Amino acid sequence: MTADVALLGIRHHGPGSARAVAAALERWRPDAVLIEGPPEADGIVHLAAGNGLVPPVALLAHAVDDPARAAFWPYAEFSPEWVAIRYGVERELPVRFIDLPAGYGLGPAAEAAEAGEAGEPGEPGEPAGPVADPLALLAEAAGYDDPERWWEDVVEHRAPGAGGADDPDGLAPFAAVAEAMAALRAEGLGESRRDELREAYMRQQIRAARRAGHRRIAVVCGAFHVPALAVLPTVAHDRALLAALPRKVRTDITWVPWTHRRLSQATGYGAGVQSPGWYHHLFGTEGDPVPRWLARAAELLRAEDHPVSSAHVIEAVRLARTLAVLRGRPLAGLTETLDAVRAVLCEGSDVALELVRDRLVVGDALGEVPDAAPAVPLQRDLTRWQRTLRLKPEAAPKDLDLDLRKDTDAARSRLLHRLRLLGVDWGVPARSAVNSTGTFRESWRLCWQPEFAVRIAEAAQWGTTVEEAATGKAVGTARAAAELAELTGLVETCLLAGLAGALPAVMRVLADCAALDTDVAHLAGALPALVRALRYGDVRGTDHGALGEVATGLADRICVGLPPACVGLDAEGAAAMRGRLDEVHGAIGLLGPAARPEPDAPEGPDAPDESAGPDAPAASPGPDGSEALADRWAAALRSLARREPAGGPATGAPGLLRGRAVRLLLDDGRLDSEEAAGRLRLVLSTANAPADAAGWIEGFLTGGGALLLHDPRLLALLDEWLTGVPGEVFTDVLPLLRRTFAGLEAGVRSTIGGRVAAGPLGEAPAAPTPGGTLDRARADAAVPVVALLLGARPRIPRQAAGRNT
């Protein structure tokens, strides 16, 4: 400390330090306030005046040419720097940031530009931490094994002005901390080259404040830097140090909202504050904070249906204070308070305690930034849409159900899809509690994250509005896409996002890629997304002419190439192809109504000519293109089902795919149960390998095994084959069979077990024995109740009506 400079060494985000800073500033009354932070923010610090800037907030600096290179300086209400900022701007004092400019740490030549994400406020690009933690060393010297608890006892639990008459200016605690830090630095502990550069720049700014005529200068900085600022070396010394700085890049800086949850994270853009909610309570509560905090915990638990009474709170306060005395602490800290919550309020439940930790110890507070804060045009357009659509960003997760038949909900859906295309996952599709299979309903889980500000700045290169940026990003992504499935997924996203301007360019790239791609697996992976996109037209009013042509073309090529593409696949490849087979089958069913021939049609004169080979095309298309496509797909499935591995596994399709093809044909009515039983009998014959037969069964039963109950012949064939498998082979096929039957419904498995145990199989179950004659009078009495349950108007039988009259 000197006559004209007060060095207030603080711990970042410490409520005790914040109270001490507030008390010292009120007593010392400086005429200038210097704060550790990026000097680029001097022009926007005035926004902290009034109520427009509500913490937690953060300064965001990013390189103009590369917005991905960014650093944050977060501040909470209990941050000492925030207290100093508010003190200065409310009294219209000069407030200056004196740390190294952010431009030195955000350039491509900076060694640790990305490490600034994990640094303390005002420390972009700093390594993960000093060689030794100064607080840990001081705590160890004081006999503490936990530096957090030592700092709480020494600083956080100290009331402002505790020094009394011996501390008239409120600087005594800062002098004590400075003395301890000086002792550590005298031993060379915790210093780094970057610290030397930062401190040299800070000293230059202190000199500049003196030259400006200020006579009472308050410097708020990390306590570790105080010894280096107390004694100023020569100007030439500091200039020589700063000459080694890398090239400074041009940067933009602004205020952005922050959250308590992000403050609690030690990685990414966090600050490593373990209990921001608790610290916020400590800073804002006069007197003993424990009773009020426990009352809030009780209120939270009661809202979650935990039986917590006032007596619980009283007992918890008593226990927390007793634990503090037993542990030799001046006041009950967070550790004692949580122990009391677990023992009394939660009755030993760690689940309930985790709820308290999440909601109160950490919390979901989200700051606010005024409209006057600098922002890229894209951010301003997003803010305008958020207000228009009444979608307020919130840190706590929130479920949102949209009805796309309503204009507002449709606009909300388009906005969320556009933001996802830009990498801003504010909304993530979720499963709704409302059961609906229609395309008019969407469900989202919304959760705003502070780092979205960086992604919005990055996306600004694509346009100045959300729609323009999403369109530019879609076109750029399409031109760089290497996979057909990526392009079809992009087309689907463009339709969901209502990007009519991007569709023509994306469709041109898609058509070119589809014409050149000959891999059936790629085609099969791409088709479902296109067909899903075709379904959105009824609700979103988009033109799908070109999209339908591409989808139909892909489907035709899949029908031709599917059977050969399935030959010789190994187990992993067969499993992947089965998933694509199911997806393509569903997609072709949605392209148009499929023809439903009679079950015996395959045996008639119009059946495909099997002598022409398994790849023979289906009958020529009829007048209905959708029916012709369905016929061609059915022919492809038949061809796949006939590809038996006559000369070994490499010569035919895996049993998994052949069995799946038979099941799809059976479910579509293109194969009757008689033919399905015949195919199963052939597969389960002794001529086939048991492993291939087990795979066939898995494919056939995937999606439901109720058909084994409805057709006893199938169950009998399966039982006969299973009992005849040799013992040495049974252990090989057992995992396949176990996986197959484990996928069946529990009720189906139980009924199959009962049928097998009852035996013999192959006969239809006996008809139930009549249970007596129907009592019509009693049945008529129940009609009104059943009609009420079904929502129908009851029709009272004439006899009953006569009786009622």
Question: DSSP letters along 714-756, please?
Answer: HHHHHHHHHHHS-HHHHHHHHHHHHHHHHTS-HHHHHHHHHHH
Question: Where is pLDDT greater, at 164 or 68?
Answer: 68
Residue 426 is predicted with a pLDDT of 95
Residue 726 is predicted with a pLDDT of 78
- Residue 170: left (phi > 0), alpha (psi -120 to 50), or beta? left
Question: Where is pLDDT greater, at 190 or 699?
Answer: 699
10 Å Cβ neighbour count for 47?
A: 20
Lowest mean pLDDT among 262-271, 593-602, 644-653, 682-691: 593-602
Q: What is the mean pLDDT of the chain?
A: 81
Confidence band of 59 (pLDDT split at 50, 70, 90): very high
C-beta of residue 122 within 8 angstroms of C-beta of residue 75: no
Residue 432 is predicted with a pLDDT of 66
Confidence band of 113 (pLDDT split at 50, 70, 90): very low
Tell me which H or E stretch contains 285.
Answer: none
CA distances from 55 to 86, 257, 359, 628 (A): 11, 8, 18, 64
Mean pLDDT of 182-191: 77
Question: Token match 């709480």: residue?
Answer: 152
At residue 420, does pLDDT exceed 90? yes
Which two structure tokens, joined as six digits, stand for 665? Answer: 């044909």
Confidence band of 796 (pLDDT split at 50, 70, 90): low
Lowest mean pLDDT among 183-197, 260-274, 319-333, 383-397: 260-274
C-beta of residue 54 within 8 angstroms of C-beta of residue 368: yes
Residue 608 is predicted with a pLDDT of 42
C-beta of residue 660 within 8 angstroms of C-beta of residue 683: no
Mean pLDDT of 365-376: 89
CA distances from 623 to 206, 627, 668 (A): 87, 8, 21
Question: Where is pLDDT greater, at 596 or 392?
Answer: 392
C-beta of residue 630 within 8 angstroms of C-beta of residue 588: yes
Mean pLDDT of 257-268: 79
Residue 618 is predicted with a pLDDT of 39
Mean pLDDT of 203-229: 93
Question: Where is pLDDT greater, at 25 or 177?
Answer: 25
Residue 623 is predicted with a pLDDT of 40
Question: Where is pLDDT greater, at 608 or 92?
Answer: 92
Residue 401 is predicted with a pLDDT of 92
Mean pLDDT of 430-459: 80
Mean pLDDT of 420-432: 90
Residue 546 is predicted with a pLDDT of 65
At residue 530, does pLDDT exceed 90? no
Lowest mean pLDDT among 183-187, 400-404, 493-497, 704-708: 704-708
Residue type for position 284: G
Residue 507 is predicted with a pLDDT of 82
- Rounded CA-CA distance 682/660 in Å is 15
Tell me which H or E stretch contains 621.
Answer: none
Lowest mean pLDDT among 395-409, 482-496, 629-643, 758-772: 758-772
Question: Where is pLDDT greater, at 598 or 194?
Answer: 194
- Rounded CA-CA distance 71/121 in Å is 9
**CA atoms within 13 Å, Cβ hemisphere of 698:** 24
Residue 489 is predicted with a pLDDT of 85
Question: Where is pLDDT greater, at 263 or 340?
Answer: 340
DSSP 423: T
Lowest mean pLDDT among 204-208, 470-474, 615-619, 781-785: 615-619
Residue 208 is predicted with a pLDDT of 94
Percent of all residues in the chain with a pLDDT value above 90, rounded to a whole number: 33
pTM > 0.85: yes or no: no
Lowest mean pLDDT among 116-130, 332-346, 406-420, 621-635: 116-130
Mean pLDDT of 248-262: 91
Lowest mean pLDDT among 55-69, 96-110, 754-768: 754-768
- Strands of 57-63's sheet in order across: 70-75, 57-63, 251-257
Residue 783 is predicted with a pLDDT of 85
Confidence band of 537 (pLDDT split at 50, 70, 90): low
Tell me which H or E stretch contains 67.
Answer: none
Residue 7 is predicted with a pLDDT of 93
Residue type for position 641: A
Residue 804 is predicted with a pLDDT of 43
Residue 302 is predicted with a pLDDT of 95
10 Å Cβ neighbour count for 763?
A: 10
At residue 802, does pLDDT exceed 70? no
Between vectors from CA 322 to CA 319 and to CA 326, what angle results, nearest 5°? 135
Q: Which residues share a beta bridge with 57?
A: 75, 257
Phi, psi of 390 (to 5 degrees): 55, 50
Q: What's CA 548's distance to the chain center, in Å? A: 33
Highest mean pLDDT among 420-424, 558-562, 793-797: 420-424
pLDDT digit string (tens) for 666-713? 888 888 877 877 887 777 776 777 788 888 888 888 767 777 777 777
Mean pLDDT of 250-255: 92
